Chains A and B, each alone.
Chain A
Amino acid sequence: MEKERTLWGEFIKGFITTNPLLVLMVGLCSSLAISTKVENCIFMGMAVIFVLTCSNIIISLIRNFIPDQVRIPIFIVVIASFVTIVDLTLKTIPAVYERLGVWIPLIVVNCIILARAEGYASSAKVAHATMDGLGIGLGYTCVLLIMSVFRELFGTGKIVMFKRTIISLGTDKMPVILILFPGAFITFALLSALLQWYQQRRKPEVKEG
């Protein structure tokens, strides 16, 4: 059954049904690494939303100009240009850049953005591509925020944003493993399982046999 593609539908699908991290499982490496601090995730999320939306718009605009044989190099050039713009802009805010510096250039090879360019924006109308970029970007940011709140709060006992403690559990005897790499995988697996369970429950049960 072919569904009518509404703009709102394009936007909202990024949160649950085609969530880039939990369902498509692309762009994981940087998100696992930076989700140790809530503050980082806010800026990383903003950077990804910006790059994803802009590259979706541009690629959708020039989709008839791009020859099929060289589409990937052109996508990479467009994406890399926006990433460089973000990189240069963030350098003027040293407090942010010192934490995210390594990960910003890596947005270029973040599979989410190339996957959306190749799989969606290069064959969609500009308005749809814009909504897709915003939706997927926000879906990515939401998951990052959930992961980082969990990891920072239970890994260090408090959430510090912009040098102010927002929430404190009043102890620093917390399981450090959560802010280390294993903690990233455990948190991610838990979230992914939660989403699967939610989606299973919504679907009518499929009888076996």
Chain B
Amino acid sequence: MTRIILNLGLRLFLVCAVAAVGLGFTYTVVKERIDEQEHKQRAEAAETVLSSIEARPQEDPELLSSLQGDFPDLSGAFEGLDQSGNVIGYAFVLKSKGYNFITMAVGVDAEGKVTGIKVVTNEETPGLGAVAAENPSFLGQFEGKGPDPLTLGENVDGVSSATYTSRGITNGVNMALDIWRHLQERS
């Protein structure tokens, strides 16, 4: 009996070991490229949302880790610098819940006004939510609003047949404004 168990266990172990070595090898090959891509995606989004105030985004890992305790959905924090290197705004990359998850970048200027938003990735239903997430006139109306929280239907118009997505994006913007206010209180 013991011999059978040992035999089975050993064979199963052998298969798992070979698989683990193979996977470990693949991971080391692609890891660098994955990190690079994710980093590039976040940086591009930050640049887009800060372009209206002509700020250059600079990633700030310390700022990010100091905020992630209070805002676990935050995945990137950028300072927007002007030509002489002063901080004139922030860009936050964060995850918000629409119908599915939406990863978006929100730019906030020194007065707490939204400078622009960009949806990085969305898993919304194609043809419904996904349309709202790519709709420039819907996304554009957030610009210049803040720092007080926005309410869908009052100061923001949602997209019909995409209620969840409209709500998710509004919540994402509110989260960014929240972070901005949090930063103001801290300094």
Contact = CB atoms under 8 A, between A and B. Distances in A.
A92 B7 CA distance: 40
Given A36-B127, A78-B15, A176-B128, A70 B23 contact: no
A2 B125 CA distance: 48
Interface string B109-134: 00000000000011101111000000
B85 to A, nearest CB: 31
Nearest to B37: A94
Interface in A21-65: 36-37, 62, 65
B34 interface: yes
Interface residues of B, number: 25
Contacts of B183: none
B8 A67 contact: yes
B30 interface: yes
Contacts, number: 68
Interface string A74-92: 1001101100110011011
A91 B126 contact: no
Interface residues of A, number: 30
A179 B30 contact: no
Contacts of B8: 67, 69-70
Interface string B10-29: 01100110010011001100
B116 to A, nearest CB: 20
Contacts of B122: 98
B3 interface: no
Interface in B135-166: 161
A65 to B, nearest CB: 7
A67 B34 contact: no
Contact of B127 (A66, A74, A176): A176
B23 A84 contact: yes
B11 A67 contact: yes
Pairs A-B, 4 closest by C-beta atoms:
A98-B121, A81-B19, A179-B127, A92-B33
Given A77-B15, A179-B125, 10 more contacts: A77-B19, A81-B19, A89-B26, A89-B30, A92-B33, A94-B37, A94-B41, A98-B123, A179-B126, A179-B128
Interface of B: 7-8, 11-12, 15-16, 19, 22-23, 26-27, 30, 33-34, 37-38, 41, 121-123, 125-128, 161
